[in-house]
């Protein structure tokens, strides 16, 4: 009797929880792992499984790692490589550098494991619906092993290369643009206020003009409505724009807009808005420019 | 016998020529005016009329001014206010400051003329098709007088207030975002190159992710294909981001992303790319970051 296809999702934040739920809903045997018991409860309350990684690692076909950064990712990989069965796959979803991704592939392959460099995009609503986008690179065997789970979680899986690196590189490029566009949205709406234009008017008009962006249309309403309930927090972009700038610096690549956006997010975090929605970067513009937000 | 509804378009550049053509095509008696005989020839060759402004100003119901900047706009308005008939309307389409728009309204109204603060958006292709967007503010009488011509030229006319100012303010907000997004597109695609990702791959992937923008999808292909045939030139954004930064400075409003984008466009102009497509700002990133563009 063969054991059923089994996966674990390590990191049940807004993205990981949605991915675990989507997998469970597709009748895949799915473990959810997190350091926070409240997040585990959210998953087990709908019938999901949980366990300690050392106890379950040997059962897994796929281990999805959906944590905050490279350090946490590395810790989980190092805990798992000696325990997982040969030919199973580690899917790394955090935003990390391409170099880190290549190092982790080397580490996994030294233990006869497969590795997928697979950062994710789409936000919590899409994660809950099983509609994330995955920017993936890795060996065909790794894609094949992960496919059943990816089918349950993702609307779109880009196949960006047959070795680790390009997935993380394109995720970092996406974060560069996303971070600059969120800060630009804040700059434009508060600049409009300095000229007597209400943010809602800016939103209504510019969303139909060449100045629009995905982030303008997604985050603009948060500013226009003065609602900073965190969908994605300021702290995430302090981290991600920091990764962009670190990688750029290593490559001797000047990235002045990224550096400027990072300064604005860092100022927002320093002013106490780190756990608010990333659109709260507008509060720094409003303070510096002496305009009043809704 | 009443004279037919008659308009003139002063400034037959890529936008003005399309607007004059659209008006002529709608069987409106339309004069095209430009300092460049080649541009006039493009309009008269399809049956459009031309003439010297002093000779025709008295005939006009509407004078559309579609020149490069505030100084040229002011010159044309000062030439016309004593010659146009009472109750006719001057429609100012260049990107100018809200203060300038208010001054021009005051000047026109002192001569019993109407004034529409009416910057335009959409690019040359939409202008040729009669599908521009107009960001307009002014008295209801001014809108009424201009409506027949605007119907021929525009897909969408925003009515942003009953006095001059908000049209120009929102156009400047749009240019802020457009300029930052073009520079961000260049930064992202060249940064991707530094990580081994071809611009076409960046374009294909990011246009389906949260990092996309209208400008990314419109200008990105120019960079990916290495085609810098000017649709809108680097020099235009040196000018428009300069206007953004000037207005921001007057309002004591710090706009660091705009200032950074302006620096990149200025560097591109200084390096000899001023008359190339604005996507040629990527050449500055490529040079500074030592990567090779397609």
Could you give the 3-state DSSP secondary structure of residue A197?
A: coil
Same fold, B6-163 and B169-289: no
- Where helices occur in A68-212 by DSSP H, the ranges are 70-80, 98-110, 123-128, 140-153, 166-194, 199-206
Instruction: Tell whether B213 is within 8 A of chain A (Cβ).
Output: yes
Straight-line distance from the first to the last Cα atom of chain A, in angstroms, rounded to the nearest whole number: 62
DSSP A138-161: E-HHHHHHHHHHHHHHEEEEEE--
From chain A, pick out residues whose CB is under 8 angstroms from the CB of B123: 210
For strands A6-10 and A62-65, give the pairing. Answer: parallel
Most A CBs within 10 A among B127, B168, B173, hence the mutation to make, goes to: B173
pTM, to two decimals: 0.93
Beta-bridge partner residues of B91:
B64, B116
For strands B132-138 and B120-121, give the pairing. Answer: antiparallel
Could you give the 3-state DSSP secondary structure of residue B237?
A: helix
Q: A208 and B156 in contact (C-beta within 8 Å)?
A: yes
Which residue is closest to A158 within chain B, CA to CA? B205
Which two structure tokens, joined as six digits, stand for B195?
A: 């990580």
Tell the burial category of A228 from Cβ atoms under 10 Å away from its Cβ (0-12, 13-18, 19+). Answer: buried
The count of other CB atoms within 10 Å of the CB of residue A17 is: 23
pLDDT at B231: 84
Report the C-alpha gap between A221 and A277 in whole angstroms. Answer: 12
Q: Mean pLDDT over residues A263-273, rounded?
A: 98
- Using CB atoms, pick whichever of A173, A252, A256 lies closest to residue B202: A173
Residue with tokens 């206010």: B81
Q: A65 and A90 in contact (C-beta within 8 Å)?
A: yes
Complex ipTM? 0.93
Contact B180 A175 (CB under 8 A): no
From chain A, pick out residues whose CB is under 8 angstroms from the CB of B190: 253
- H/E element, B29: strand B29-33
Nearest alpha-carbon partner for A175 in A167, A187, A186 = A167
From chain B, pick out residues whose CB is under 8 angstroms from the CB of A175: 211
DSSP B119-163: -EESHHHHHHTT-EEEEEEE-HHHHHHHHHHHHHHEEEEEE--SS
Could you give the 3-state DSSP secondary structure of residue A269?
A: helix
Instruction: Tell whether A194 is within 8 A of chain B (Cβ).
Output: yes
Instruction: Tell whether B180 is within 8 A of chain A (Cβ).
Output: yes
Distance from CA of A81 to the nearest CA of B (A): 28
Most B CBs within 10 A among A171, A213, A216, hence the mutation to make, goes to: A213
Residue with tokens 């002529």: B24
From chain A, pick out residues whose CB is under 8 angstroms from the CB of B172: 191, 195
Q: Mean pLDDT over residues A127-142, rounded?
A: 97
pLDDT at A78: 97
Would you list the domain boundaries of chain B? 6-163, 169-289
Which two structure tokens, joined as six digits, stand for A19?
A: 């991915």
Instruction: Tell whether B167 is within 8 A of chain A (Cβ).
Output: no
Report the C-alpha gap between A156 and B68 in whole angstroms. Answer: 44
Indicate the pLDDT class of residue A3, thresholds 50, 70 and 90: confident
Instruction: Tell whether B249 is within 8 A of chain A (Cβ).
Output: no
Beta-bridge partner residues of B31:
B8, B49
CATH code of the domain made up of A169-289? 1.10.1040.10
Composition of chain A by helix, strand, coil, percent to 5: 55, 15, 30
Q: B214 and B181 in contact (C-beta within 8 Å)?
A: yes
Q: B225 and A193 in contact (C-beta within 8 Å)?
A: no
Cα–Cα distance list, B190 to A175, A212, A243 (Å): 14, 22, 16
Report the C-alpha gap between B189 and B223 in whole angstroms. Answer: 8
pLDDT at A124: 86
The pLDDT mean for chain A works out to 96
Q: Mean pLDDT over residues A197-204, rounded?
A: 97
Q: Mean pLDDT over residues A168-186, rounded?
A: 98
Indicate the pLDDT class of residue B3, thresholds 50, 70 and 90: confident
Which residue is closest to B210 within chain A, CA to CA? A214
CATH code of the domain made up of B6-163? 3.40.50.720
Q: What is the pLDDT of residues A83-119, one digit of tens each?
A: 999 999 999 999 999 999 999 999 999 999 999 999 9
pLDDT at B1: 52
pLDDT at A122: 86
Contact A289 B172 (CB under 8 A): no
Instruction: Tell whether A218 is within 8 A of chain B (Cβ).
Output: yes
Q: B289 and A253 in contact (C-beta within 8 Å)?
A: yes
Which two structure tokens, joined as six digits, stand for B156?
A: 């969408």
pLDDT at A1: 52
């Amino acid at each position: 009797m063969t054991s059923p296809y089994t996966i674990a999702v390590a990191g049940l934040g807004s993205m990981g929880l949605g991915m675990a739920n989507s997998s469970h809903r597709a009748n895949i045997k799915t473990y959810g792992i997190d350091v926070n018991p409240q997040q585990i409860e959210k998953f087990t309350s709908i019938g999901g499984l949980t366990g300690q990684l050392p106890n379950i690692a040997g059962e897994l076909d796929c281990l999805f790692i959906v944590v905050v950064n490279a350090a946490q990712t590395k810790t989980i990989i190092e805990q798992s490589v000696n325990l997982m069965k040969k030919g199973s796959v580690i899917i790394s979803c955090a935003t990390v550098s391409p170099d880190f991704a290549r190092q982790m592939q080397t580490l996994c392959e030294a233990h006869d494991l497969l590795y997928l460099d697979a950062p994710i995009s789409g936000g919590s609503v899409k994660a809950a619906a099983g509609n994330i986008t995955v920017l993936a690179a890795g060996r065909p065997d790794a894609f094949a092993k992960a496919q059943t789970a990816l089918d349950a979680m993702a609307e779109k899986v880009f196949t960006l290369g047959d070795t680790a690196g390009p997935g993380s590189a394109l995720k970092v490029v996406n974060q560069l643009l996303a971070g600059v566009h969120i800060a630009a949205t804040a700059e434009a709406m508060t600049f409009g206020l300095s000229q007597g234009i209400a943010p809602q008017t800016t939103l209504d008009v510019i969303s139909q003009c060449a100045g629009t962006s995905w982030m303008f249309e997604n985050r603009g309403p948060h500013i226009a409505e003065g609602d900073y309930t965190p969908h994605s927090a300021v702290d995430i972009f302090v981290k991600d724009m920091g990764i962009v700038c670190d990688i750029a610096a290593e490559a001797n690549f000047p990235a002045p807009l990224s550096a400027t956006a990072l300064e604005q997010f860092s100022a927002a975090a320093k002013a106490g808005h780190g756990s608010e929605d990333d659109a709260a970067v507008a509060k720094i513009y409003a303070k510096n420019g002496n305009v009043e937000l809704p």
